[in-house]
Amino acid sequence: MASETTKGEWNPGRKNQAILSQIQDVLSSGEERTVRDVYYALESRGHKWEYRYVKRAVKKGRRAGYIDPAQIVDASRTAENVSATGWRDPKHFVDDRVDKVWNDYWEDFWREQESYVEVWLEKQSLASVFAPVCEEFNVRLEATRGDWSDSKVYQASNRLIEKISDGKDVRILYFGDYNPSGFHAPVSILDAMGYYGIDLGREFPGSDDPRYYDAEYGAPFWFEGGNGTFALERKALNTEHIERFELPENPVPSSSDKDATIKRSFRRYVSDGRDTNVELNALKEFEREFLEDLVRDAIEEHVDLEKKHEVENRIRDRREQLAECIEIDRDALEVTDGDE
């Protein structure tokens, strides 16, 4: 039953009723999704609707009250700022923050690792899937929208040069779409890094060269005063994922995939002549657990787990020490009539 709206009710026909019912089932978990995510979720459940019908049903369904508007998000737009809500009184502050302060104590186990890892994600809309795994391993997640600005490349170069100079083996784990722009973006970023101190020691081939689409880009190199290495590894999306899970193609390809040269070379060297365009979002909706494990396994390849557990045990001991040091006189925090 739809709720009332200020612009009147929408009376969906039989087809839209079917689509709405299936969308409501997808959203029943309470997870926020983009319209594209909803489309792939329906596909993964065997509901083969054209994208334009799904998009229309979501739009009208939200406005008419059939769909909770808060569950449909636009991941391409982020808030400029967030205002704080504050605390009700000192006791509320103690209950909310001080009692848990020792749980905020942590140490970066990567300081004692030979490697340093970052995850670079082409799709900002998938950050919520990648973030928990990256947080588990204290790995920096860079969720972008394809190519980077020079400012972002410069910042990343400086950050990684510092790690390499410290002797770290830096590994960038890249996750992107299976389309021309999805393969072009990481190479473009690495090429731009050559202007800001991370020169891989070779000329980057043009998009008409098969090496442009290698599964793993980069080669070890050294800085004076350090002996670290650097490489970027593309982990997804690849042909094996698409064939294994029968992932559907992108219903609305991006305009960035219209570059004729890159598109032609992609077909020649990557997709075996096919004009293929599959989004990483599809893997999330079809095989979310597989995607999460893929991220986790890619990170663990570069982790000395024994050293990681040693740091975790040390953190646990120090948190207990902090808990014993913090004593609060709760009676003194009780709110009196004069405080209200």
Q: What is the mean pLDDT of residues 296-318?
A: 92
Distance CA 123, CA 279 (A): 9
Residue 281, burial from CB neighbour count under 10 angstroms (0-12, 13-18, 19+): buried
Q: Are 248 and 219 in contact (CB under 8 A)?
A: no
**Residue 33 DSSP symbol:** B
Q: Are 113 and 303 in contact (CB under 8 A)?
A: yes
Distance CA 139, CA 118 (A): 6
Distance CA 210, CA 208 (A): 7
Which of 73-87, 166-180, 242-256 is the most confident on average? 166-180
Can you give the pTM of this predicted structure? 0.76
Residue 121, burial from CB neighbour count under 10 angstroms (0-12, 13-18, 19+): buried
pLDDT, tens digit (0-9, with 9 covering 90-100), for 33-69: 889 899 999 999 999 999 999 999 998 998 888 999 8
Residue 251's alpha-carbon distances to 52, 165, 181, 187, 327, in angstroms, are: 9, 44, 16, 25, 59
Distance CA 16, CA 27 (A): 16
pLDDT, tens digit (0-9, with 9 covering 90-100), for 129-165: 999 999 999 999 998 776 788 888 889 999 998 998 8
Per-residue pLDDT band at 257 (split at 50, 70, 90):
low
Distance CA 307, CA 109 (A): 8
DSSP state string for 204-224: PPPTTSGGGG-SEE------T
